[in-house]
Structures are given as structure tokens and as C-alpha cells.
Amino acid sequence: MPSRKAATVHLFHLIFIIATVQYCSGDKPARVGCYFESWAVRNEGKGRYTIDDIPGHLCTHVYYSFVGVNNVTWRLRELDPKVDLKMNGFRNFTSLKLKYPELKTMVSVGGWAEGGHNYSQLVSRKERRDTFIDSVVGNDLHSFMNSLYLKIYGHDEQTLVLAEFMHEFGFDGLDLDWEYPGARERDGKPSDKDNFLYLVEELRRRFDEEDSDWELTMAVPLTRPKLKDGYHVPELCRIANAINVMAYDMRGIWNGFADVHSPLYKRPHDTRALEEVNVNDGLQLWVDMGCPTDKLVVGVPFYGHTYVLSPNDTSYELGAPIDKNATIRGMSYYQICQALQANNSEWVEQWDEFGLCPYAYKDDIWVGYENPKSIQIKMDFIKEKGYAGAMMWALGSDDFRGLCGPTNPLVTILHNNMKDYIVPTAKNLTVWVSSETTKISKRELC
Ligand SMILES: *[C@@H]1O[C@H](CO)[C@@H](O)[C@H](O)[C@H]1NC(C)=O
Ligand SMILES: *[C@@H]1O[C@H](CO)[C@@H](O)[C@H](O)[C@H]1NC(C)=O
Ligand SMILES: *[C@@H]1O[C@H](CO)[C@@H](O)[C@H](O)[C@H]1NC(C)=O
Ligand SMILES: *[C@@H]1O[C@H](CO)[C@@H](O)[C@H](O)[C@H]1NC(C)=O
Ligand SMILES: *[C@@H]1O[C@H](CO)[C@@H](O)[C@H](O)[C@H]1NC(C)=O
Ligand SMILES: *[C@@H]1O[C@H](CO)[C@@H](O)[C@H](O)[C@H]1NC(C)=O
Ligand SMILES: *[C@@H]1O[C@H](CO)[C@@H](O)[C@H](O)[C@H]1NC(C)=O
């Protein structure tokens, strides 16, 4: 804990603090970040979600998910050439601005399925980061090299290389979704933490040279080990326009029991490693580690984690034992609302009184999710805490066809709550300043 002695301000600290005060700027409108899963275009039936379905009037930012990185050329690469390019996915997406002039169209690089290996390798060398950044921002030499590359290798679906990505397709920003720097179980290594910051700093510099309106954001976890291993919090928060905190998937089949996955607060059954893994504590951790509240965007899931309960137990309570071997697909909100509403529905809906999320069950199936009530509570929480807004995963899971009532009920709640909310400038910015003697002191700024 900070002692009087540790609070002594060294010259080093002063320089650091002055540099930090710059991001204590004026109040600004709240964000509604909407993630679009490009693969939903390929779904059939009621789950098919196209770019035309995006309710651009309800979002401030839309995120095209995902693009990847080529681990031979170290350039940005499309992950689904058919949807992204042949079907004009990128261009249709950025053209949403014609219909919704206020909307920012972002592209997200990474995602869970992309793994961490390629990103760890990418950031580990300056030349690779330079190449990657060139492929995002573009320069003449690389456009030339790119056309040469295409001449030599042609472009089959694996190797198609994209030049000057941002200019070419007209995106307004890049969202980094590497899951996660420094995470061993995701092929990360300790040096990822520094190297990721270098990438972010270098990207920001090039963005500012090119077009100062381009945004740089990132999707991030909220557990202490992940933050410690991969994220220089004060620096990243200073550089990024927004930090999209993935405040979901906090519980799953790997835990061995049924539970909601985005509890707002700690519940009695949360012990040990899970004790502070909830929305409130995870966001607070970002703040405590030095991120201003007005940069933090709180994520909400539009889908549920589904479980098959253990045949050896009769409990339907939170924490009920599950059959860990059984695999079952998650459910989108539009599927859950239909199941609950069906005539003679046998689904029973319950409420986590501490986590403030709904769950439901029928026979041996159990699902933990979010509904209008729980999402409204989270919106009140965001405003009360002064966070920068809300984001969601993902648009295609909302009841976008209005199968249960009005269309897009969940994203509408985000919009209605955020449209008149002005994000207060982070007043009580807490920065951890490490001194040369490795003592840590905590200072309040702004
Ligand atoms: C890494 O990049 C290579 C080449 O671009 C790609 O084939 C591979 O799928 C990527 N790795 C992962 C885990 O996605
Ligand atoms: C590229 O990624 C693939 C798949 O993740 C991996 O097997 C291969 O070793 C990687 N190559 C390089 C040069 O990193
Ligand atoms: C892009 O728009 C065109 C014209 O409306 C449409 O045919 C195509 O399917 C769209 N592509 C995607 C990926 O939504
Ligand atoms: C149920 O109990 C039996 C006998 O103890 C055990 O073999 C089996 O693995 C259990 N099943 C589950 C899903 O826990
Ligand atoms: C799970 O699968 C393993 C391997 O297939 C099997 O040995 C075990 O009994 C199964 N457990 C349950 C609870 O069904
Ligand atoms: C449910 O029952 C009502 C009244 O019997 C009927 O009007 C309605 O069409 C039914 N809905 C469905 C989805 O079957
Ligand atoms: C700042 O912190 C002080 C003490 O911790 C508290 O009393 C005050 O309400 C806070 N102000 C804001 C704007 O959060």
C-alpha cells in the first residue's frame, strides 16, 4: 500500500504525470459499440444476418469482425475472401456511412478463433510490426511490393494480400482483438506485454500522421492475471480512443457447473480465482491499474452459455453440477426469448439476485444469459460509474427480426440509455507510478 515515503515525487514521476494529464480532456458523448460477425452472413434461416440488417442508427461504432494477420508476409489478411471481398463485405460495411453519416465503421483484427500465436510472432520484431502497419495504413513502396507479390503468387484464397487496408476500404479505425498478449495458454510469452504496447504506439503514430480522425481501440479481458501478463494499462488507455472490455464469458463449461457468464457483482458461491471475476470488479481493476473511467466501454453479451446438467443431480440452482462431456451450442437471445415465450413453454426463468442476470432451464438444459432487465441494470451501472459507454457481442444475436416483439430490443436499450448520457471527464484518475526503487505510489490526478 502507498506510504508517505512512497508518495515522494521524484523528477521522473513529475515527467510521467505531466504526460498523463493530457488525456484528462473534456466531457464527450457516450459510445455504443456494435460488433458484427461477418460469418453470420453465411448462416441459413432465421440466423442469417447481413450488413443490411445492421441498425446503424442505434450504434455510434460498428466493428467488422474479423480480419487476421498473415504469418508469412506479416500483413493484414482477410479471413473470409468470399464474404469480405467477393460479396463486397468490407465495402458494403463502410458504405453504411452513406445511410448513417454519424456512424464510425471499424475493423477488428484477431478474435478468439485466430489464436494468439501469429500475434505474438508479429509483435516480436520491429520489421514485422512495420510491415503490418504498412499493410493497414499503406505507403507507396508497399503498394508496389504488393502488386509485385500478386503478380508472382497470384491471389488464391489463402494468399490474397490487401494493400493500404484503411484507405482501400474506407474504414474509420482499427480494433485490436488479440486474445491475449502474454497468455501462455494462448501461445503467448512474457515479452508480448512490451511488444504489444510498441505495436499500439507505432500504429497510433502512423494513424495520426495519416488521418487524425482514425480511431484505435482494443477488445480486452478483465481478470487480474491476464491484465498483469499482457497489458500496460495506463499507457494503452492513454493511446487508445476506447477500451472495449469483454465483460462476458466469465463462466463456462470449463468451470464444471452451470452459471450466468456476465454477473455484475460477486455472488456467495464465487470463491478463490472467481471471487473478483465479475463486471463491477473487472472494470474497477482496469481503473485501479490506471485506466481513466472515460475510456472504458463495458461489454454485454447478447447470447447465453448453455449447459447439460449432470444426470446425478436434481439441482437447477446457480452452480448446479453439469455433464462436462456433453457438448451443446450456446443460445442467441432471439432463440432464448422464443423458447420462453412459446405457448406451453416448459422453460422456467430465474434470476441471479447478486449477479443480476437471468437464467432459465428445461429438463436437463440450463442457460445463463442477459435480458432487457439485466441489460438496463448494466446501463444504469455504466452511467453511475462514469464509464465511456456500452458495447455488445454481437448484433446477430439480438432479436433482430422481431420474433418476440419489437426488432432489436437489446441494442435499443443500449441506444436509449447512451444517447443522452455525456461521459464525465475522469476526475479521480488513479495512476500507479513505479519509482526507480520499485516502490509503488498511487496518485490522484485531474
Ligand atoms: C497464422 O497465419 C497463417 C498464415 O497466414 C494461417 O494459415 C494460420 O491459420 C494462422 N494461425 C492461426 C492459429 O490462425
Ligand atoms: C504460421 O502459423 C501456423 C499455424 O498457426 C504455424 O504452424 C506456423 O509455424 C506459423 N509460421 C510461422 C513462420 O510463424
Ligand atoms: C453487399 O451489397 C450487395 C448489393 O446490395 C449484396 O448483393 C451483397 O450480398 C452484399 N454483401 C454482403 C456481404 O452483405
Ligand atoms: C454419475 O455418477 C456415476 C457413478 O458415480 C459416474 O460414473 C458418472 O460419471 C456420473 N455422471 C456425471 C455426468 O457426473
Ligand atoms: C467423459 O468422457 C470420458 C472419456 O470419453 C469418460 O471416460 C467419462 O466417463 C465421461 N464422463 C462422464 C461424466 O460422462
Ligand atoms: C399461442 O396461443 C394463442 C392463443 O391460443 C394463439 O393465438 C397463438 O397463435 C399461439 N402462438 C403460437 C406461437 O403458437
Ligand atoms: C473523487 O474521490 C473522492 C475521494 O475518494 C470522492 O469523495 C469524490 O466523490 C470523487 N469524485 C468523483 C468525481 O468521482
- % helix, strand, coil for the chain, step of 5: 40, 20, 40
Q: Which of 112, 118, 120, 135 to mutate to test the pocket of ligand 1 (most atoms within 8 A of CB)?
A: 118
> What distance in angstroms lies between residue 428's CA and the mean position of ligand 7's atoms?
6
> What distance in angstroms lies between residue 331's CA and the mean position of ligand 4's atoms?
26
- The residue nearest atom 6 of ligand 5, judged by CA position, is 325
Question: How many C-beta atoms lie closer than 10 Å to residue 239's C-beta?
Answer: 19
pLDDT, position 443: 44
Q: What are phi and psi of 308, to 5 degrees?
A: -100, 120
Q: Which atom of ligand 4 is nearest to the CA of 323?
A: 13
- Sheet with strand 348-352: strands edge to edge: 331-332, 303-308, 365-368, 357-362, 348-352
H/E stretch holding 118 reads helix 117-123
pLDDT, position 139: 64
pLDDT, position 439: 37
Q: Which of 79, 117, 187 to mutate to test the pocket of ligand 2 (most atoms within 8 A of CB)?
A: 117
Under 8 Å between Cβ of 327 and 272: no
Q: Is 41 in the pocket of ligand 3 (CB under 6 A)?
A: yes
Q: What is the pLDDT of residues 93-107, one digit of tens each?
A: 999 999 999 999 999
Q: Which atom of ligand 3 is nearest to the CA of 50?
A: 14
pLDDT, position 141: 61
Under 8 Å between Cβ of 254 and 217: no
**Total count of residues recorded for the chain:** 446
Closest-approaching ligand to the CA atom of 442:
7
Q: Is 328 in the pocket of ligand 3 (CB under 6 A)?
A: no
Average pLDDT over residues 53-63: 98
pLDDT, position 167: 87
pLDDT, position 67: 97
pLDDT, position 5: 45
Q: Which of 19-23, 72-76, 240-244 has the lowest mean pLDDT?
A: 19-23
Q: What is the pLDDT of residues 296-317, one digit of tens each?
A: 999 999 999 999 999 999 999 9
Please give the grid coordinates belonging to residue 224: 487480474
d(CA 154, CA 145): 13
Q: How confident is the model at residue 142 (pLDDT cuts 50, 70, 90)?
A: low
| Residue indicated by cell numbers 446503424 | 56
Q: Is 179 a catalytic residue?
A: yes
d(CA 434, CA 237): 17
- The residue nearest atom 14 of ligand 2, judged by CA position, is 71
Q: What is the pLDDT of residues 403-414, one digit of tens each?
A: 999 999 999 999
Query: Is pLDDT of 157 > 60?
Result: no
My answer on whether omega of the bond before 49 falls inside 30° of 0, hence cis, is no
Please give all residues whose beta carbon lies within 6 A of any atom in ligand 7, as ranges: 427-428
Question: Using alpha carbons only, what angle is made at residue 195 by residues 189 and 196, rounded to the nearest 5 degrees?
Answer: 95
Q: Is 310 in the pocket of ligand 4 (CB under 6 A)?
A: yes
**What percentage of the chain has pLDDT greater than the value 70?**
84
Query: Is pLDDT of 8 > 80?
Result: no
Question: Which residues on adjacent β-strands are paired with residue 442?
Answer: 432
Q: How confident is the model at residue 294 (pLDDT cuts 50, 70, 90)?
A: very high
pLDDT, position 156: 46
DSSP result, 281-320: HHHHHHHHTT--GGGEEEEEESEEEEEEBPTT----STT-
pLDDT, position 97: 97
Average pLDDT over residues 350-359: 98
Closest-approaching ligand to the CA atom of 109:
1
Local structure of residue 172 (DSSP, 8 states): S
Q: What is the pLDDT of residues 169-213, one digit of tens each?
A: 999 999 999 999 999 999 999 999 999 999 999 999 999 998 779
| Residue indicated by cell numbers 516480436 | 124
DSSP-derived pairing of the beta strands 357-362 and 348-352? antiparallel
Out of 179, 349, 370, 436, which one is annotated catalytic?
179
Closest-approaching ligand to the CA atom of 321:
4
pTM metric for this prediction = 0.87
Q: How confident is the model at residue 438 (pLDDT cuts 50, 70, 90)?
A: very low
Q: 12 or 113: whose pLDDT is higher?
A: 113
d(CA 418, CA 320): 36
Please give all residues whose beta carbon lies within 6 A of any atom in ligand 2, as ranges: 71, 117-118, 121
Contacts of 45 (CB under 8 A, 6+ apart): none
Q: What is the pLDDT of residues 199-249, one digit of tens each?
A: 999 999 999 998 779 999 999 999 999 999 999 999 999 999 999 999 999
pLDDT, position 146: 60
Cα atoms found within 13 Å of the Cα of residue 383, Cβ hemisphere only: 17
Under 8 Å between Cβ of 336 and 367: yes
Q: Which atom of ligand 7 is nearest to the CA of 428?
A: 1
Query: Is pLDDT of 347 > 50?
Result: yes
Q: Is 437 in the pocket of ligand 3 (CB under 6 A)?
A: no
